[in-house]
């Protein structure tokens, strides 16, 4: 790599992500191999290498990093139940009919009940990083979300405004 080497990339990337990393390098010293593995590389292959060996090491690395099987994820806050697996929200026995964006916002709030999320955080969580929506769009979705939760919960307030910060999910 012309500007930075793989060790520098590894130092930057590993603290930010758990993505599988297979280093392919011309560095042949044992110290380089040990440094790469100690910094978080999942495997290390030296040049020249066999394309078949590289393919086998990629398969092995990916096999070890297979995402975990989804488990049933139900978050309970008061009498509000968020079932991410079924994409369903309930207040008591009443199912709350939410749009995908409202559900995504509620899912993010329910991931850390009591934590204040900024509009930007909720926007990124509900719309993804590649969006053209504005932060005030979150306000509209939160308003609709509050209304629907209050109707199902006899007026109970779950989503609270945190002045100067954004919103948080609390048990009423």
Q: What percent of the chain has pLDDT over 90?
A: 50
Q: Tens digit of pLDDT for each residue in 84-136?
A: 888 899 998 899 999 999 999 999 998 889 999 999 889 888 877 656 777 78
Mean residue pLDDT of the chain comes to: 88
Listing DSSP states for 119-159 in one string gives HHHHHHHHH-SS----THHHHHHHHHHHHHHHHHTTT---E
User: What global pTM score does this model have?
Assistant: 0.58
What fold is seen in the domain 74-169? Arc Repressor Mutant, subunit A (1.10.10)
Domain coordinates in residue numbering, the chain:
6-64, 74-169
* 156 CB neighbour count, 10 Å cutoff: 16
Q: Which residues of 100-130 are buried (b: 16+ CB within 10 A; e: fewer)?
A: ebbbbbbbbbbeebeebbebebbbebbbeee
To the nearest 10 degrees (0 to 180), the angle between helices 100-111 and 119-127 is 120
What fold is seen in the domain 6-64? Rossmann fold (3.40.50)
């Amino acid at each position: 790599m012309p500007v930075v080497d793989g060790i520098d990339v590894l130092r930057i990337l590993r603290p930010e992500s758990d993505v599988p990393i297979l280093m392919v390098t011309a560095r042949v010293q044992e110290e380089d191999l040990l440094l790469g593995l100690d910094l978080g590389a999942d495997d290390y292959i030296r040049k020249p290498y066999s394309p078949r060996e590289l393919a086998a090491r990629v398969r092995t690395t990916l096999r070890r990093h297979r995402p975990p099987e989804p488990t049933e994820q139900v978050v309970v806050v008061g009498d509000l139940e968020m079932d991410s697996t079924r994409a369903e929200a309930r207040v008591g026995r009443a199912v709350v009919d939410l749009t995908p964006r409202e559900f995504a916002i509620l899912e993010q709030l329910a991931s850390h009940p009591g934590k204040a999320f900024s509009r930007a955080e909720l926007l990124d969580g509900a719309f993804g990083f590649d969006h053209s929506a504005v932060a005030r769009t979150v306000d509209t979705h939160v308003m609709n979300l509050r209304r629907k939760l209050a109707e199902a919960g006899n007026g109970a307030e779950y989503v609270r405004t945190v002045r100067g910060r954004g919103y948080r999910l609390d048990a009423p």
